[in-house]
Structure 1
């Protein structure tokens, strides 16, 4: 009896004796005895810490057997069948990413409509499936591949591409296909936290993906440092052993430690107030209609209320969607639409893709959501809920007005020279991090010898140095790191990046190259300037440097920004004892504790 190989122990010449008929016979036995099983690797959304979907992996035994018996096409179709069958039987939620070989896609024996047949067999829809186009060994023609991809998209599938490390061919396919998902392959991800080249490649891919409205999936996220590095780039999706291993029955929940590291407080660079305002400020109650109401009744409602721009449809207390005035009038303007649909349920005119947000959603998050969505949502408005129960509506006009007011208020607290958040937003952000139980590192940046430089070179040159410092600090920070300007030559950064220490050292390297360039050639050559001190005595002051004082803040260590500030001032005194560009990391035992900790220590 033919036995399907599950390892490489057989000699190659013996493996090559397998024919398609023998493969079919062997697979029949394995399938009958349920010995071939697909596995699934979860793909997680870092914003929600929940599963987006699963990459379906055909059994490795099947792949090996198909290759050595020259039945790659048949083997791949059987693999798809196994993946979809198991996905459906387990009732896995989210999307299934189905691997499709580019080489198989263009084979003459490839079967048209076979995947759709499998979906119908297992009660799945093309909208559940993302076709993941995998590597081409033969360097297939991009034009033919584009046609094949258009065929899949025409059937309702979304597309994902990977293997961008193949260079021009992968990038050419990307530009032609315009996939919904782009995979950052494990070659780019492994060790990205300490590899600047990989980091810049990943950053470039992410930026191009953002411009083309594609989502980036990081593959091979195998340790927490790499996870934090890609998260700081802005990548929202990922898979790998650090998150969850591939398995026949996959886990659907992230490890608690990973969830804790992901759910960091996003640090606004310009507008702290906007991130704290919620959509409850935009709430207006609009009497909803129910699915039992007809389109004609809703139309009369619009006629009787000229200022009504949209009507929410609510079943019991659950919001279903919106009917916008413009969409209904546009529909009724078409021949026979009113006659055909007037007596039907109003859900036939409802936009079931309407934006529904919780009342605690921040204005910043709502703005980001609307910007990523269809422009119609800005005019139609959005539904506000509480625990999935209808509360009311908000509209785009009120949202824009609130954002404008928040920006005006925020500008009052921004430093006018650098436009970075000033003292009030800094204190608010520290308190927000403390209240959320987030670990972070407070770094105090202070220029050395700045006053004599300002005296000799003038205020304009001094302002240029301050602005240069602000740019270099901002450049060194990740998306979750908050940069503030206390005033003068003092800055503060609230780091959540796991590699904060390396970021600081990289910044000091940049400063050591940049600061000498602001001096005249003569002063640069002699390494500094002569200037009078406060008593009128002349001294030689070396070229500008910067001192960093770092204080690690753990949950429960400090009750508020006041105590964090005191700790930073203490650390700053030590940092100024070092000459040159330097960083002092506070490693002494915390000398300020919360009232809760004091109580515990007493007892």
Structure 2
């Protein structure tokens, strides 16, 4: 049934090309389109996933892919779309022994597209092992004028190795790492790391799957070159050639995205032991045929260590062994020989107590294949197991996030380091913002009378009130320490938000006092000389500095100005707001009833 439907689709060319724009994140311009394909809308083969699944199951993958390629190229030329065309091609397609490599160029000649406008986008559907052959195929396409892109970086079976082996002009970050990046510091660090590698290797990064304005602005702030996703534009048969007005307005708006913060700070020293994976080893006397059968029985197994009496001797990698056995007569010649024949006799070996920082430095200085092959972990020279480069990268990413955030353990809000980083980003962007310093009045005697646990409750309440009246995508809240906070407003209605903060605080703080103190509007404590002193209920003082482009040069100057404004606010009785406008502009102040 499905096979006959597929044959009908091929014979009648019942495929439709769709195009999704790819934009320049800094310039706000469309730079090209990804060509996508759909089957008939009334067919179970409408989805490209189903279409290619049925095609491969019936040995029609090559025919379907060539037809898709032709349909996309013809439609792209017919629409006369600007920029580049990202044309999806599977690696296994390039590796077909009788692949018609000249056919794509022939299609392009027919429709009149310059090959330099076409990007071959490699989309990985299954593991790729013959990297030498794939590299040769890619060189062939480059020789015809095409550029290369790798799709779904971070999602596929071996995308990091593909990047290393093929050195593509473009890499597309898988949408998993883009969607929700404004809430996930691990995703943020992953994308930031990919961008750093791309800058070193001369590769252009494209972020896929951008679905919200917050994701769009954060990707822009990370200096990712290009973006793509539903928030920008959905795939269409006849796509627009101009950026949607709301997207262009967002990209052109001054300001910075608020980076997600780690909720707690850890000082743990992490060692290689945390990366340990139990991988069964083989003896040096085992034959290559026996090792091959081990790989065949365990499709996910990539590395087999060779160990003699608990002493590691080397590694055998799946790609290397399979590649050798694929060559004529090699299996017959070497199948019964010891597995040490094809073993990497110089693996990277590290002790379980090696810190991850030391281990990463060792890998950086070693040959690059150790990152993909992994490393042997030992205990006093005795084999324990294996560690992978992927696990090392993930753990290092987590450690970097922890070390960079210095989150306050009481409120879980960012501390001084991320506060200063965010101020510097605001200053560098030329954005207008308001720095609001928040401090509690009469808090120390409250702590003395009611105890530190009650004091912690008030500090946590203050942090929650600040958060409730801020836009999480535009306004940054930091906990300087003790009862001091700072809010960096990019919201235009920051004054109204400050007023709402003071009103909410005035309504909430009495609940932290006993009924007698609430009724008399304060509490009594003893000073150092033992004298009774009356203190009014704790109130909140907000000192605000409005910052215009070029007015301040560093977070140190902002901190000083905001502190001065806070001191002025504390001179006003009760819950108070003091706004200081530099460059000779008058200031405003008013108390709020508490």
Q: What is the TM-score normalised by the length of structure 1?
A: 0.43
User: TM-score, normalised on structure 2?
Assistant: 0.44
